[in-house]
Structure 1
Amino acid sequence: MAEPTARAPGGSDAPVSGAAASRTPADDADLRESLAGLSRLASGQLDLRSLLTHVADFAMHAIPGADGVGLTLVEDGRADTIVSSAAFVRDVDAIQYRIGEGPCITAAAERRTVHSASLGKDPSWPRFGPQVGRLGVHSVLSLPLLTGDQALGAMNVYARGEDVFDAWAVELGELFAVPAAISVENAQALAQAKRLAVQLQSALTHRAVIDQALGILMSRSGCTPAEAFDKLRVMSQSQNLKASAVAQQLLDEAVARAQARHSTG
């Protein structure tokens, strides 16, 4: 029965199941190239999904033996694979989310690297392992994406064969996961800033429409601003619409009437 390996990020004392560590010049070159590519990612020019796709592709190139890489982000306590470099990765991750166990969940929740050389025989995940093994996926390396005290999610590296990821592959993965986490954090921050900007612009637009609608109500009835606002609120409740939607209707009607008068005048 394969023994799973759980290692603290950057640790070197814990044993690793699998082939003997075998570092080659090609591995070093792949890691340098991938890290250089990661450093050149311009988060301001890429949306979150596009940036994460690049990170997954670079990880595939950096970690020897990888057949597929997925990036999982944890938001509001819920894990979700945002991007994957191969279709089978999303299928594998979907299994662990559905049953609530697996290396990705462990890595993100416990903030530690998780490695298994034979998922189908691994006792750590008695329900997940056999199901994934039947899909022909046997080796995994799950690396938490850590920034300070926060785990943003995990980077999951899969291989179809058994005993694929040796000690050097695990170390490469941990080296790569550090700047990868920073890239993910920056991309998330930028995405959040863009969402807030859109929400603010929407709020300002709605406010302008409401102010114009209040002016229309005041001109029609000679009421005060407070009375006009009360009228708008009552209309909103009676029509079961947001105040901004009712205000837009009033504005559209006023514009239509003005255009009609202009065309017949």
Structure 2
Amino acid sequence: MAQDYVDDGRASAEADELDDLRDSLTSLSQLAMNSLSLPQMLTHIAEFAVRAIPGADGAGLTLEHGDRRDTIVATDDFVVEVDTIQYALGEGPCIFAAAEGRTVRSGSLGGDARWPRFGPRIGRLGVHSALSLPLMTSNETLGAINVYAHAKNAFDDRAMNLGELFAVPAAVSVENARTLANALLLTHQLETALTNRKVIDHAIGIIVSRSGCTSTEAFARLRAMSQRDGIKLTVVAQSIFDDAQRRAQARRTGH
């Protein structure tokens, strides 16, 4: 009877863990990417990882950009502290997982010989377990999810397997979020460029109407003013446009 009770308890716990994973994956699929910034998206993904992986106390997520690591987000302050130390030292489970493209686990960071500088410092913070899951697509490793726990040996084989199951769709969500963020940035840059071009064209027209010079000569004047005063060309053009508007307004009102 006692063994049956233990087996029932284990089965119930495993069922709860699968429910947590299922809930996290459902939440992941329902993220409204068009209404969230990239850091907000990544933070939600890290939060879902904590829910999906048994034993997790906090998680962070980092994207790789060549030799750089950007967009570090975390669910808890202690994760920020851990990852800040990790990236400052240039060693740790996340860096290893992203570089090798495979899951990295440690149940005793303070004594882990793989990271002789990082491990003892993190152990003194009371963080002893880590599970780093690479975020991989068919083309590249995007970064890694870093899951931490204060307890030793917090992540068993089952926790690692559930984490790896979560990391696959999480990588897709990260890739989609990053693609959308890049598209939005490009759109903003194009809109800014078009706006700047319009202002410059207006300024050229004003100079042409006042001086009778050609548009090429007017642009040369704008550029010379920009270089002389050490001001961006668009700022010079905007000031000319604003001045022309003020003059036109004064003429209409008689002031």
Tell me if TM exceeds 0.5: yes
Give me the whole-angstrom Cα distance separating, in 2, the residues matched to 1:261 and 1:76. Answer: 57
Give me the whole-angstrom Cα distance separating, in 2, the residues matched to 1:92 and 1:146. Answer: 23
1:65 and 2:85 equivalent? no
1:187 and 2:177 equivalent? yes
Cα drift, residue 81 of structure 1: 5.5
Q: Which has the higher helix share?
A: 2
Give me the whole-angstrom Cα distance separating, in 2, the residues matched to 1:209 and 1:47. Answer: 29
Cα drift, residue 202 of structure 1: 0.7
Give me the whole-angstrom Cα distance separating, in 2, the residues matched to 1:81 and 1:138. Answer: 24
Provide, for residues 17-72 of structure 1, a one-character-per-residue CA deviation record: whole Å limited to 9, x for no partner: xxxxx971111111111111111112122221222122111111110000111111
Q: Which residue number corresponds to residue 238 of structure 2?
A: 248
Give me the whole-angstrom Cα distance separating, in 2, the residues matched to 1:44 and 1:75. Answer: 22
1:52 and 2:42 equivalent? yes
Q: Which residue number corresponds to residue 115 of structure 1?
A: 105
- Which of 1 and 2 has higher RCO (CA within 8 Å, sep 6+)? 1
Give me the whole-angstrom Cα distance separating, in 2, the residues matched to 1:168 and 1:202. Answer: 50
Give me the whole-angstrom Cα distance separating, in 1, the residues matched to 2:244 and 2:126. Answer: 66
Give me the whole-angstrom Cα distance separating, in 1, the residues matched to 2:246 and 2:21. Answer: 64
1:215 and 2:205 equivalent? yes
Give me the whole-angstrom Cα distance separating, in 1, the residues matched to 2:18 and 2:231. Answer: 61
Give me the whole-angstrom Cα distance separating, in 2, the residues matched to 1:95 and 1:81. Answer: 16
Contact 2:39 2:71 in 1 (8 A): no
Aligned AA (1:251) = F
Unaligned stretches of 5+ residues in structure 1: 1-21
1:152 and 2:142 equivalent? yes
Provide, for residues 85-139 of structure 1, a one-character-per-residue CA deviation record: whole Å limited to 9, x for no partner: 1110010001111111000111111111110110001000000000000000000
Pairs within 5 Å for 1:1-265: 24-80=14-70, 82-264=72-254
Contact 2:107 2:155 in 1 (8 A): yes
Aligned AA (1:191) = A
Give me the whole-angstrom Cα distance separating, in 1, the residues matched to 2:202 and 2:18. Answer: 64
Provide, for residues 122-172 of structure 1, a one-character-per-residue CA deviation record: whole Å limited to 9, x for no partner: 000000000000000000000011112311111000010111100011111
| Change in CA separation of 1:80 and 1:219 when aligned onto 2, cut-off 3 Å | closer
Contact 1:52 1:71 in 2 (8 A): yes
Cα drift, residue 262 of structure 1: 2.2
Give the RMSD, CA atoms, in angstroms. Answer: 1.4
Provide, for residues 192-244 of structure 1, a one-character-per-residue CA deviation record: whole Å limited to 9, x for no partner: 11111111111111111111100111111111111111111111111111111
Give TM-score, length-normalised by structure 1. Answer: 0.89
Give me the whole-angstrom Cα distance separating, in 2, the residues matched to 1:136 and 1:72. Answer: 22
- How many residues are aligned here? 244
Give me the whole-angstrom Cα distance separating, in 2, the residues matched to 1:81 and 1:91. Answer: 15
Give me the whole-angstrom Cα distance separating, in 2, the residues matched to 1:60 and 1:111. Answer: 21
Contact 1:81 1:93 in 2 (8 A): no
Which range is displaced more, 35-44 or 112-121? 35-44
Aligned to 2:213, the other structure's residue is in SS state coil
Give me the whole-angstrom Cα distance separating, in 2, the residues matched to 1:105 and 1:57. Answer: 20
Give me the whole-angstrom Cα distance separating, in 2, the residues matched to 1:107 and 1:78. Answer: 15
Aligned to 1:152, the other structure's residue is in SS state strand
Q: Which residue number corresponds to residue 6 of structure 2?
A: none
Which range is displaced more, 87-96 or 52-61? 52-61
